[in-house]
Every structure is written in C-alpha cells, then in structure tokens.
Amino acid sequence: MDTEKIKSIMKMFEESQISKMDLTDGDLHITLEKEMEPVEVVKTIKSTPIQEVEEVKQEQGTAITSPLVGTYYQASGTNQEPFVKVGQHIQEGDTVCIIEAMKVMNEIKATVSGTVLSINVSDGETVEYDQVLMMIG
C-alpha cells in the first residue's frame, strides 16, 4: 500500500466512513502494520482524528498533544481567564491548559514557543492520550 492509499484510509476515517474498530480489526490493520512502522500504526489508530504528526507540523505548525486521558480545562477555575487564546504568543514552558485525571489537576506546558494558531478542544471536553489540543506556529 502506498502513501496515497494510507492517506485515503485516514480521510475515510475522518469523514466517519470507517470506524476505529475497522482500523484495528482484520485485513486493514494488517495492511497498515506492513506499510508503517509499529509506532506509526499505534499513533495512527489512537489519534482522533487520524493525523500523521510530521504532516501536521509541516502544514499547520506544531501540535501540543494530551499526555493523558482526562478532562480538558482552559482556565484554572470558573470565571478565570483562559491560560491561552488563539493569536496569543506563548513561550516554551508556559502553562497552556489543565487536564484533570482521577481528580488530579495536571498542568500542561507548552513544548515550543510561538503563536497559538488553534485550540482544538472545548472547555470541559474529555480528551484522549495523544489527542491534539492546540496548534502552535
């Protein structure tokens, strides 16, 4: 399977024409394993929507992803200003959000300096491991 075929499969998933289960069961999963490195297969199947990290970095900036499963919060409390807003310049190490996991509030720090291009999740939304939270350019 060539790169175009893999991108076609990813697009089908993004458009909800195939499910995550389709990606992890049967011949499609085996085909992906043969065409991609094992780490890439795991990232491809677990990301929502499916994105190739390098492609995202080149086209849209650098992704800040969730290091754990939990609930995304844009501010430290109710009626508080969000940590970051689209268009804001941030420095590496700045707190960009909080993810609550098992009643523990985990500050998520910026891995790069730059401008916030997009925030890909809503306040109070459940996020998955390695889900793109925001793009920095």
Per-residue pLDDT of the chain (137 residues; tens, 9 = 90+): 456 666 666 666 666 655 554 555 444 554 454 554 444 544 554 554 444 444 444 456 888 999 999 999 999 988 899 999 999 999 999 999 999 999 899 999 999 999 998 899 999 999 999 999 998 98
- Measure Cα distances from 30 to 34, 35, 80, 102, 110 in Å: 6, 9, 48, 34, 35
Residues 57-67: pLDDT tens digits?
445 688 899 99
pLDDT of residue 53: 43
Question: What is the three-state SS of 46-73?
Answer: HCCCCCCHHHHHHHHCEEEECCCCEEEE
**Residue 40 phi/psi, 5° resolution?**
-65, -40
Helix boundaries (H) for the chain: 3-14, 20-24, 26-35, 38-46, 53-60
